[in-house]
Structure 1
Amino acid sequence: MQTPQTTEFDAIVVGSGISGGWAAKELTEKGLKVLMLERGRNVEHIKDYPNATKGPWEYPHRGGRTQQMIADYPVLRRDYPLNEKNLDFWVNEKESPYTEAKRFDWYRGYHVGGRSLMWGRQSYRWSDFDFEANAREGIAIDWPIRYNDIASWYSYVEKHAGIQGTREGLPHLPDSEFLPGFPLNCGEEHVAAQIKKNYGGKRHLIIGRSANLTQPLPGRGQCQTRNACWLGCTFGAYFSTQSSTLPAAVKTGNLTLKTHAIVHELVYDKDRKRVSGVRVVDALTNEATEYRAKIFFVCASTLNSTWLLMRSARDIWPGGLGSASGALGHNLMDHHFRLGASGSLEGFDDKYYNGRRPTGYYIPRFQNLFGDKRPYLRGFGYQGSASRQGWERAVAELGIGGAFKDSMAQPGSWTIGGTAFGEMLPDHRNMISIDENTRDKWGLPVLKIDCEIGENERMMRKDMTTELAEMFESSGAKNVRTFDNGYTPGQGIHEMGTARMGRDPKTSVLNANNQVWDALNVFVTDGSCMTSAAAVNPSLTYMALTARAADFAVNELNRRNL
């Protein structure tokens, strides 16, 4: 980490997660002197992954959670992320609270790399079925871009990030620039073949496309199939800021990284209609500093980026920079999930598989496409896997004796399961605002979140279980059961919206190049820019939009338009 010796830069990037890392890489490689501001601590690649190679027996509580952890993390405790293995990668909730008008599970990581260290790495391109959906159905507003506007940028970021997968030629799930894909195992291959036959080739079970290297890239080793990505990868085998974009930015000599730097306001010059700087409070000393630049990339993660816009230029717009649109803070989205089906597979007891593959299968959306009609809009896909049961199946049993122990040393029966991930429609009523009555550790007002799923999502959820159960049963699976563990917005950890892109400054915060309409030298390229959510994981689209916006920004800067 460098300590800034100057407060003047060509560009400032707020946030160091997936989008911020890409912004820093692209801007520095184009010759700009860049300051990256991260509100949390530094996490150095390899050195700061203390648990990456630990065995479960090396943890005091075998990787579980303690009563103290449950008391200290009232939000994180609501789902699987709370455990002792990577607790340091999650935000201190007492220092950084938020207000819930309705329950919203906001899982955050405040450190260099952000959630790029913990993400699920599922990486899918959007298609024009997604970009055109709002306009076609009269929902919210139209995206200002189409697939052709971003396709080359998908290719650009994929080659650097490293995406494994298989070419399928599906119009609704465009192929990427793939590294060799992980193979499906024999159970998955069987079900894939049956689904293809039973549904006339209209449904597909493919390997889940993920940002895991199956071949080395410069400075990064290939995946060792340990399936411990969420602890940090010492091999650099999955895409993160630390393994990929930050080293590239540092290599240029043009990057200054400042940690513990909480950006709480963009300084707006009303005469120039541009932002001239950022106001920062040091998280350790509370010292205030103002840094100045020509262009700004706001990549603090969906809700924090919008919080920053809401805190800026309030002398001009009481609702903050971008609020003249009436859209700032609105149309918060996530992916709803936590439901699906499972069953057992027979006839494969003489077969097994190698390693712990870091991805499973994927069944792309098939609803409301190619003649399929549903009583709801949009659709969902499935992520899952087939596997053989291990010794854990005996934990609840009372068996004793040598024969029992011998049987537990052998793999159990084959099972297959899957979880549906559904699209959430943009809804103006799903929103965030600033709660001036609640303050964080640094005296800054926190966010208030008011979000819930609607009738469209509730109707969709009925199909999300039954369709998968039907596919499993028709493929020969036995003992098929459905499950629905309930869902609360935020649990998908795919926050999107609240500063959407659009074609008109009266209805959108950002234009087609991710510029704030009222301050064209400010670019917002993380999840807050999303105009709709699609059914696929969004991070690959953030990468492509960021690289595209950085290229545009530098060209405009060179033309003296910014």
Structure 2
Amino acid sequence: MNFQGKTKENIQYDAIVVGSGISGGWSAKELCEKGLKVLLLERGRMIEHITDYITANKDPWDFPHHDLQMPNDLLKNYPVQNRTGFAIMESTHHHFVNDLENPYIEEKPFDWIRGYHVGGRSLMWGRYSFRFSDLDFEANAKEGIATDWPIRYKDIAPWYDYVEKFAGIAGNRDGLPHLPDGHFQPAMPDNCIESHFRNSVNSNFQDRRVISARAAHLTAPTEEQTALGRASCQYRNRCMRGCPFGAYFSTQSATLPAARRTGNLTLRPHSIVNSIIYNEKSGKATGVRVIDEQTNEWLEFSAKIIFLNASALGSTFILMNSTSNRFPNGMDDSGQLGHNLMDHHFHVGATADYQKDLDKIYYGRHPAGLYVPRFRNLPGAEKQPFNRGYGFEVYTWRDGWQHSMDMDGMGAEFKEKVATFGDWKMILDAFGECMPYYDNKVTLTTEKKDKWGQPVLKMDVHYRENEALMRKDAKEQAVAMMEKAGFSNIEAFDQQAHPGLSIHEMGTARMGTDVKNSVFNQYNQHHIVKNVFCTDGACMTSSPCQNPSLTYMALSARAADYAVAELKRGNL
């Protein structure tokens, strides 16, 4: 059911889940399926699957500006969201926050890309879904950096299996120990340029391997997935508008209908969670304080357990704002809350043309391409002048009619040129690991307040020498692979993207081995307030170069299983 009440409510829920994005949807599904009565709180508006994807089936000519540019009167509301260079279009802007209503302070440049609505960024995410390995989980301990992860691959591997089967991940079993295989549906087929690049790199570089990107798109739906109304990918590549086929994994297409069918879910949009209510006598959280987004009314909701899934910085805001006599500086004893903020550094690599195979085209629009997994600083490999590594996302296409926009001419010959496809194009874009620096941090400040009178976050984050050295190598290696593959017009690039722009923010309330070095334990359970859990990006102890969302899913399912078991034992 959806709950829209505007008065203080006295229902005692078993669990409250804060945030309805990738991790929140999973937490709600798992808790509901285990028999708990769950209140799912989302700070933004309702978006119903299919019916509320208002631009999903529109063509460019259906938009006033052909979806090529935003009118200035609308664009002024998105000064941060527009920094992505792709997000704020006529077809997608409604899925991103109004920056004027949701401000923050940048001590140093930080691009905080957000979507406040039911489903969160699960409607707009890139959908690349990779497992972490022990190379990642052991790195901090082996290098003496930050603190050790409290888990290893064997702890989370069964949960990767579990969430992959439900979500639906297209990919191949590639046999790479540092990028473990999973349960995959058939990978999306290569086009001719992808096949050429894959074969060239795999033949000419012994230390690396090009694979199909592992993406959360259905290519051979299971009975469970079709029962939820999901279907195969249609290769429209309009994913950021919302997928009416349910082909890619999102809260709307997958976890929300699964939770709803249990009869145990209450969903309340327009509910801004301000803080956690802490009982000094019991040492437990008793509920949350909420501001109604539409009326500004303050509400309180009670539950036995609370799952924070408001996004890395959203969950950290709530913990920081949850002050009491016991926690005068926010709900933490470690001194780590707000610190160790990480985001993948990217927008470095190379672009190129391929002027062969011009007799070939392909149909449909690939929502996922190729991937070059990390090949630097692997076991037994030569040590690089930087720690950790990076992977390349590989995108290819062939120029359509747009290649003729700057051409002069008229008549039949000109029409023929316009109707002819242009060259093949390729981009190699590296995503590199950011180290967990203690002084990359966020703090709460009242220097500015949001639309609802709350304090805002101040970002003090920047990349360091390790990231700079990694970027130099990534740019050089992108060029080397393209040269070997016979590309032309190769141009290296380094756009020096700021933290946040990769939209993979991690850390600030990390997992760890004890209360002295972390906020949450190996089960994503708060070290002190045992009935509070966090399974979104805030809990990350390091930031392996792989896309992190699959790990959030697995951690959420694992933590929910543990929380319900502890609740039944009377420990919460």
- Provide the rounded CA distance (Å) in 2 between the counterparts of 1:385 and 1:330: 34
1:132-151 matched pairs, under 5 angstroms:
132-151=138-157
Q: 2:289 and 2:472 mapped to 1: Cα distance? A: 48
Match of 1:27 among 17, 31, 37: 31
The counterpart of 1:255, out of the listed 241, 261, 265, is 265
Of the three residues 431, 436, 447, the one matched with 1:437 is 447
Question: What is the percentage of aligned positions where both structures have the same residue?
Answer: 54
Deviations 1:526-555, CA, capped at 9 Å, x for gaps: 000000000010000000000000000000
SS at match of 1:520: coil
Residues 1:214 and 2:219 are matched in the alignment: yes
1:74 aligns with 2:79: yes
* Structure 2 residues without counterparts, runs of 5 or longer: none
- Who is 1:356 aligned against? 365
Q: Which amino acid aligns with 2:38?
A: V
Mapped partners of 1:68, 1:387: distance in 2: 33
Distance 2:61 2:494 in 1: 32
* 2:299 partner SS: strand
Offset, 1:107: 0.8
**Residues 184 and 206 of structure 1 are in contact (CA less than 8 Å); yes or no, is this contact kept in structure 2?**
no
Q: Distance in 2 between matches of 1:414 and 1:38?
A: 43
In structure 2, C-alpha distance between the alignment counterparts of 1:116 and 1:6, rounded to whole Å? 31
1:269-284 map, 5 Å: 269-284=279-294
1:408, distance to aligned residue in structure 2 (A):
2.0
CA contact (8 A) 2:81 2:114 kept: no
The residue type equivalent to 1:15 in the other structure is G
Q: Paired residue for 2:392, among 363, 366, 382?
A: 382
- CA deviations 1:118-138 (Å, max 9, x no partner) are 001010000111111111111
Asked if 2 retains the 8 angstrom alpha-carbon contact of 1:40 and 1:112, the reply is: yes
1:186 Cα deviation (Å)?
1.6
> Could you tell which deviates more after superposition, 5-14 or 373-382?
5-14
- What's the offset of the Cα at 1:32? 0.3
Q: 2:102 aligns with which of 84, 96, 103?
A: 96
**Equivalent-residue separation in structure 1 for 2:318 and 2:173 (angstroms):** 40
Distance (whole Å) between structure 1 residues aligned to residue 407 and residue 355 of structure 2: 22
Map residues 98-497 of structure 1 onto 2, 5 A cutoff.
98-200=104-206, 202-216=207-221, 217-218=225-226, 219-322=229-332, 324-369=333-378, 370-497=380-507
- Residue 540 of structure 1 corresponds to which residue in structure 2? 550
2:3 alignment partner in structure 1 = 2
Q: In the alignment, is residue 53 of structure 1 matched against residue 62 of structure 2?
A: no
Alpha-carbon offset, residue 479 of structure 1: 2.4
Structure 2 CA distance for aligned equivalents of residues 112 and 146 of structure 1? 32
In angstroms, what is the RMSD of aligned CA positions? 1.2
Q: 2 CA distance for matches of 1:512 and 1:440? A: 34
Q: List gaps (5 residues or longer) in structure 1.
A: none
Distance 2:356 2:502 in 1: 35
Task: Confirm or deny: 8 A CA contact 2:81 2:97 kept in the other structure.
Answer: no
CA distance change for structure 1 residues 68 and 372 in 2, over 3 Å: closer, same or farther? farther
Q: How many Å apart are 1:169 and its aligned residue?
A: 0.5
Task: Please tell me whether the aligned partners of residues 333 and 424 of structure 1 are also in contact (alpha carbons under 8 angstroms).
Answer: yes
Shift of 1:342: 1.9
- Give the number of aligned pairs: 560
Q: Distance in 2 between matches of 1:304 and 1:341?
A: 34
1:156 counterpart SS class? helix
Amino acid at match of 2:83: R
Q: TM-score, normalised by structure 2?
A: 0.96
User: Distance in 1 between the 2:329 and 2:66 partners?
Assistant: 48
Give CA-to-partner distance per residue, 1:444-489, whole Å, 9 cap, x none: 1111111000110011110111101101111222222211222111
Given that 2:278 and 2:324 are in contact with CA atoms closer than 8 Å, whether structure 1 keeps it comes out as no
Q: Distance in 2 between matches of 1:70 and 1:486?
A: 24
Q: Distance in 1 between the 2:533 and 2:84 partners?
A: 33
* Partner-residue secondary structure (3-state), 2:479: helix
Q: Residue 328 of structure 1: SS of its match in structure 2?
A: coil
